[in-house]
Structure formats: C-alpha cells, structure tokens
C-alpha cells in the first residue's frame, strides 16, 4: 500500500483483486523505500494519512474474507498435514 504514484484507481484494483481471488491472509504493509532500489528514487506523492487509511481498508477486507471462509468451514471435515511439533513450545 502506498507505492510511489499509487492512484486511487490502483488501490481499488488491489481491493477488487482481493475480492476476486478471495485472499484471506496477506503480509500487508505501507510501502517504504529501500536504499539503492529503483523505486527509492521515485517521488512519493501519496500522503502518510492516505497510506494508513488504505492499509486499514485492505486489512479490514482481508479480515472479512478470513471470517467468511472460516464461517463456510464450520461443520465441515478436512484433511490436514502435520509436519512436526512446533518449536515455539
């Protein structure tokens, strides 16, 4: 969210893609320039407040789809693959 030059239409296209595909999870964040990359030299015309608003909207949409998918699975049975014991214990 907030790549330099991102327009409202670009963001709406992202939201439409989320709806079309039905993403329920995404590592989403506000774009930040990384020194030495071509994008770091682009003019950032998107205000921080717009970036924050867009990120909140995107994350809310993702949460909606996650809840919808979880609700659809209530009462169902599905196969899972267990690869091992969690190292977080």
Is 90 exceeded by the pLDDT of residue 7?
A: yes
pLDDT over 80 (residue 89): no
pLDDT in tens, 57-86: 999 999 999 999 999 999 999 999 999 988
What is the sign, positive or negative, of the torsion defined by CA atoms of 13, 44, 55, 28?
positive
Q: Band of the pLDDT at 87, cuts 50, 70, 90?
A: confident
Res 17 pLDDT > 90: yes
Asked if residues 1 and 30 have their Cβ atoms less than 8 Å apart, the reply is yes
Taking Cα atoms as reference points, which of 67, 65, 73 lies closest to residue 15?
Answer: 65
Helix (H) or strand (E) segment spanning residue 29: none
Q: What is the pTM assigned to this prediction? A: 0.82
pLDDT at site 23: 84
Report residue 61 as tokens. 């949409």
pLDDT band for position 41 (50/70/90)? very high
CA-CA distance, 65 to 74, in Å (whole number)?
14
Q: Match 């909140």 to its residue by tokens.
A: 56
Give the span between the Cα atoms of 73 and 62, in whole angstroms.
Answer: 17
Scanning the chain, the segments in alpha helix (DSSP H) are 8-21, 48-73
């Amino acid at each position: 969210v907030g790549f330099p030059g991102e327009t409202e239409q670009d963001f709406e296209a992202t939201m439409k893609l989320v709806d079309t595909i039905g993403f329920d999870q995404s590592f989403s964040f506000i774009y930040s320039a990384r020194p030495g990359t071509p994008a770091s030299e682009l003019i950032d015309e998107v205000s921080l407040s717009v970036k924050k608003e867009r990120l909140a909207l995107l994350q809310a949409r993702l949460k909606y789809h996650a809840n919808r998918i979880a609700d659809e699975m209530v009462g169902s049975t599905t196969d899972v693959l267990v690869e091992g014991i969690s190292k977080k214990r």
